[in-house]
Structure 1
Amino acid sequence: MTSLPQDPPSRISEDARDTAVRRLQEAYAEGHISHEEMDEGLGEVLTATTRSELVPVLASLPEENAGSTSTIAAAGGRIRRRGTWRVPRMLKVESAFGKVYLDLSQAVFEHPVVDIELQLGTGKARITVPRDAIVDAEALHTGWKDSRYRSRRRSGPGGPTIRISGAMGFGRLTIRHARR
């Protein structure tokens, strides 16, 4: 009697690895794990070769809240958010043509880390963040013009971390810290 060969374990994709890294960083930022636990988990995630190796690392982390993603979309025209509004954990902004203006200076942040994904064709985008916010826009890919952002010299503790990713075709992203 011959046995059937077993399927080899599935190799880990870069998306799965990136998701695991993001979940570890969020768990640390929200105080669910210590710095040492995050370092150890990152080491295991970055050296993992199969999906099954990620299971023990992610098993002790809190579940992701899938209901905290919102999408703002417009084919053309202007997308504008300002004043007091709740910022979801994940905000997707999609526009083929037009301007995008997000003013987060008076917004209510329920999460210490907020991801904003921009998918813009043409037109410019401007994001105003709170004074004490930490901004990371390294994952944003621009096609025509570079982003304009100058980080604050000093940021106060306790501000939200805003990660901006996605793609912009023709246009420029300008990020500014609120003055007050």
Structure 2
Amino acid sequence: MSNSAPRDASLRAADTDRIQVAQLLTDAAAQGRLDLTEFEVRLAKAYAATTYDELDVLTTDLPGIANTRRGACKPAPSTVLLAILSGFERRGRWNVPRKMTTFTLFGGGVVDLRYADFTSSEVSIHAYSIMGGQTILLPPEVNVHIHGIGVMGGFNHDLGDTGTPGAPHVTITGFSICGGIGIKRKKRRPQTRLESA
């Protein structure tokens, strides 16, 4: 998908091609062309696709979306979110970087990945809380590994279900001291439009 030259539809697609189609599907949902259920079904199929043909079929019925090519998919720059005696929120539609660090000190923060555009198939979040709290909300399809500790506080490890094969893989590491880091897999809400942040 990242190449506009003619190609064989039976060729194997790369992670960047799958991410690009996921972004196109998010565009279609934001424009009201796909309802939430159809969007999530197609998103799971995009992440599981192995060939260009499997990816192309997911956007062929979306006028103005199907033939869009965004060029090479590049990871967003690394991000640091700080809350010192304050707070941060990252919600809505935004570009998830390959690396992100979150830190709260006597503050709080929310990182919501449910409506965001992943720009890499591998995402690393380093989360730290001291006398503060954070919540990280994950969409149902992502795959997650958590390696964090809580000292006189909590670092959630129990997410239950696994994600969709081929979907982005999120690794969350860090610690909380006298605070908490809550990590939840949460469904998208039907009434929420996927608007650009």
Say whether the 8 Å CA contact 2:76–2:96 is kept in structure 1.
no
Alpha-carbon distance between aligned partners in 2 of 1:172 and 1:79, rounded to the nearest angstrom: 15
**Selected match of 1:151 from 154, 159, 167:** 159
Aligned-partner Cα distance in 2 for 1:141–1:165: 8
Letter of the 1:116 partner, please give it. Answer: I
Is it true that 1:69 corresponds to 2:88 in the alignment?
no
State the 1:111 CA deviation.
0.5
**SS, match of residue 140 in structure 2:** coil
CA contact (8 A) 1:132 1:158 kept: no
Q: Which structure has the greater CA radius of gyration?
A: 1
Between 113-122 and 143-152, the greater mean CA deviation after superposition? 143-152
* Whole-Å separation in 1 of the counterparts to 2:125 and 2:160: 20
Q: 1:132 aligns with which of 141, 160, 183?
A: 141
**Partner Cα separation in structure 1 for residue 184 and residue 175 of structure 2:** 19
What TM-score, normalized by structure 2, do the two folds share? 0.53
> Which residue in the other structure is 1:109 paired with?
118
Instruction: Please say which of residues 78-87 and 149-158 is displaced more in the overlay.
Output: 149-158
d(CA) in 1 for partners of 2:161, 2:138:
15
| Match of residue 120, structure 1, among 122, 126, 129 | 129
Which aligned pairs between 1:1-180 and structure 2 lie closer than 5 A? 68-138=77-147, 140-180=148-188
Structure 1 residues 71 and 154, CA gap change in structure 2 (3 angstroms): closer
- Give 1:158 shift: 2.7
Q: Distance in 2 between matches of 1:130 and 1:111?
A: 15
Aligned-pair identity (%): 25
Deviation at 1:175, TM superposition (A): 1.2
- Measured after TM superposition, the shift of residue 30 of structure 1 is 5.5
Q: Deviations over 1:105-161 (max 9, x none)?
A: 0011010111111122111211110111111111x2321123234333343223211
Secondary structure class of the residue paired with 1:74: strand
The structure showing larger relative contact order (alpha-carbon pairs under 8 Å, at least 6 residues apart) is: 2
Relative to structure 1, the CA distance from residue 113 to residue 66 in structure 2 (aligned partners, 3 Å threshold; closer, same or farther) is closer
Q: Does structure 2 conserve the Cα–Cα contact (< 8 Å) formed by 1:134 and 1:160?
A: yes
Q: How far apart are residue 83 of structure 1 and its match?
A: 0.4
User: Could you say what secondary structure the match of 1:117 adopts?
Assistant: strand
Shift of the 66–127 alpha-carbon distance from structure 1 to 2, 3 Å rule, reads closer
Query: How far has the Cα of 1:67 moved from its partner?
Result: 7.4
Residue ranges of structure 1 left out of the alignment (5+ in a row):
1-28, 32-64
Q: What SS does the aligned partner of 2:154 have?
A: coil
Paired amino acid for 1:167: F
Equivalent pairs, count:
118
Question: Following the alignment from structure 2 to structure 1, what is the Cα–Cα distance between the partners of residues 141 and 105?
Answer: 31
